[in-house]
Amino acid sequence: MTSTVAALRGYGPVFALLFGLQFISMGAMEMSGPFWPIQIKALSASDSVFGLAGIGVYVCPMLGVSLTSAFWGRMGDRYGNRLMMVRALAGLAITQLLVAFAEDVWTILALRFLQGACAGYIAPAQAYGVEVTGGRDRAGLFAWLQVATNVGSLGGAFLGGLMLEALPFAAVNLTAGVICALCAAVAWASLPVPPEGTGAGPVEATPMSRTPSAGVSVSGLLVLMGLLLTTRMVLQVPFSLYMSEVYGAQHWITGLSYGLLALGFVVGAPLWARIFEGRAPSFVLGWSVLIAAGCLAVTGLAGATRVIGLFAALYFAWGVLLGGTTPVLLSHVSAATRSDRQGAVLGFAQTCQQGASVVGIIAGVVATQRFGLKVAFPLVASLYGLSILVAIGLWIKSRRSFDKGEFS
């Protein structure tokens, strides 16, 4: 807790408010996150409908985000990322309130798609964070914004599980909608409009910005980040069903276990950010190989164990390792981008992330529907094997670039 307060003070009071908004709003949305398959199964008329809708309830908002993120990013560059954050929070609030009153799966899917299309909060929040901090310590900045998201995920999933023990599913969505509406109002009233000329500037501006980003393959970083996210999302839909079938877990235990991944991320992300601060891409990619190998080992063991305590510990360890992936890779993408294009590029990066997440969800559902829940973790481990190969290829390429003097 002390290190968290110190980090927030180091970035300033505006970032502390930004951190709080992201934590609360993302936590509100995650209150229903792990429990959608249970709700969809209860509303589905057949197994085939459940199979389709179980994918769609997660994929539809991601498709909405992926189709609109680049557009909203350009609007953020033109009209301000602060306005885009308020718009996104308002969109989440309205659609979440409407979802609470939906009583059939097709209406839910349509509203979830609309929710994604109207939302897209994270990319403008990241771009706004770069503005208010002047681009200082991007890896740490992105790590702490991801910490806010994952702390919210941890608390939201657990609180959602507790609420479902006593209240209907609609109450969870109504609560989330009200919370997002309050966040939108606070963002509009409290977040200052950054003065002109306070952006991070192009990467050529200072030697410090040149060190971590010059010569980096942005497309390669996006491919690796996308593959890692694809792998992570394989378990999104089957997780609650896996916990029920393998461990006979209650809702609150499922929510807590689901949140341990986020807790591990919260612990690991700031540590990884300090390790990677100011480092060249070759260093980061070399560690990415090791992190992917660690994820392979951890998920392989998690799928093999039938001891729920060990499973929970491995899930936490997985989250710690994931803290060294997306925030760090995304910070290098941002550092290689001009300040007047932060919104557009980070919006495009979010499009790539959402597309990768869609692929992961579909792969997880198709595999578990066809071969059973027992294949979920072996599939995750196999995809991490592929991530290792991609990371090795990028590391070798970055080393060659370094040897040619591109980072001198």
At 76-121, the pLDDT tens digits run 888 888 899 999 999 999 999 999 888 888 999 999 999 988 877 7
Task: Say what the pLDDT of residue 200 is.
Answer: 44
Report the pLDDT value the prediction gives residue 252, as an integer from 0 to 100. Answer: 74
Is the pLDDT assigned to residue 285 strictly greater than 70? yes
Q: Does domain 13-403 have CATH number 1.20.1250.20?
A: yes
Average pLDDT on 394-404 reads: 72
Q: For residue range 216-267, what is the model confidence (pLDDT) as tens digits?
A: 577 888 899 999 999 999 998 788 888 888 887 777 778 778 778 878 888 8
Phi, psi angle pair for 278, to nearest 5°: 75, 10
User: Cα–chain-centroid distance for residue 8?
Assistant: 20
Going by pLDDT thresholds of 50, 70 and 90, the confidence category of residue 195 is low
Confidence at residue 408, expressed as pLDDT on a 0 to 100 scale: 37
pLDDT of residue 208: 34
If 0-12 CB within 10 Å is exposed, 13-18 middle and 19+ buried, where does residue 384 land?
buried
Instruction: Categorize the per-residue pLDDT at 9 as very low, low, confident or very high, splitting at 50, 70 and 90.
Output: low
Are 364 and 233 in contact by the 8 Å Cβ rule? The answer is: yes
In sequence order, which residues have a C-beta less than 8 Å from that of residue 66 and are 6 or more positions away? 116, 350, 351, 354, 355, 358
More confident residue, 292 or 133: 292
What integer pLDDT is reported at residue 407 of this predicted model? Answer: 39
Comparing C-alpha atoms, which of 11, 30, 115 is closest to residue 19? 11
> Is the pLDDT score of 137 beyond 70?
no
The pLDDT of residue 209: 38
Please name the helix (run of DSSP H) or strand (run of DSSP E) that holds residue 302, with its range, or none: helix 281-304
Structure confidence at residue 98 (pLDDT) = 92
Query: Cα–Cα distances in Å, from 39 out to 42, 61, 93, 169, 219?
Result: 5, 17, 20, 7, 38
Taking residues 290-313, what's their average pLDDT? Answer: 92
Instruction: Specify the amino acid at residue 280.
Output: A
The neighbour count for residue 207, using CB atoms within 10 Å, is: 8
Check residue 250 and give its pLDDT.
74
Token reading at 377: 């973790």
Q: At what angle do helices 342-371 and 81-100 cross, to 10 degrees?
A: 30
Q: How far, in Å, CA of 69 to CA of 67, rounded? A: 6
At 168-185, the pLDDT tens digits run 888 889 999 999 999 999
Distance CA 222, CA 247 (A): 36
Average pLDDT over every residue of 117-140: 76
Q: What is the pLDDT of residues 12-57, one digit of tens each?
A: 677 788 888 988 988 888 888 778 888 888 888 787 888 788 878 8
pLDDT of residue 35: 81
Does the pLDDT at position 205 exceed 50? no
Query: In this structure, which amino acid lies at residue 14?
Result: V
Q: Which residue has the higher pLDDT, 202 or 193?
A: 193
d(Cα 79, Cα 19) in Å, to the nearest integer?
A: 22
Number of other residues whose CB lies within 10 A of the CB of residue 392: 15
- CA dihedral for 273, 206, 12, 82, sign (positive or negative): negative
d(CA 141, CA 131): 11
Which range has highest mean pLDDT (206-215, 333-342, 352-361)? 352-361
Residues 6+ apart with CB under 8 A from 341: 77
| Whole-angstrom distance, CA of residue 189 vs CA of residue 17 | 11
pTM for this model (two decimals): 0.71
CA separation for the pair 387, 228 (Å, rounded): 7
For residue 388, pLDDT over 90 is answered with yes
CB-CB neighbours of 307 under 10 Å: 10
> CA–CA separation, 61 vs 59, rounded Å?
6
Report CA dihedral (137, 139, 143, 146) to the nearest 10 degrees.
110
In this structure, are residues 29 and 159 in contact, taking their beta carbons and an 8 Å threshold? no
For the chain, the C-alpha Rg in angstroms (whole number) is 20
DSSP track, 231-287: HHHTTTTHHHHHIIIII---HHHHHHHHHHHHHHHHHHHHHHHHHHTT--HHHHHHH
Q: What does each C-alpha distance from 342 to 75, 189, 313, 339, 389 come to in angstroms?
A: 11, 24, 37, 5, 29
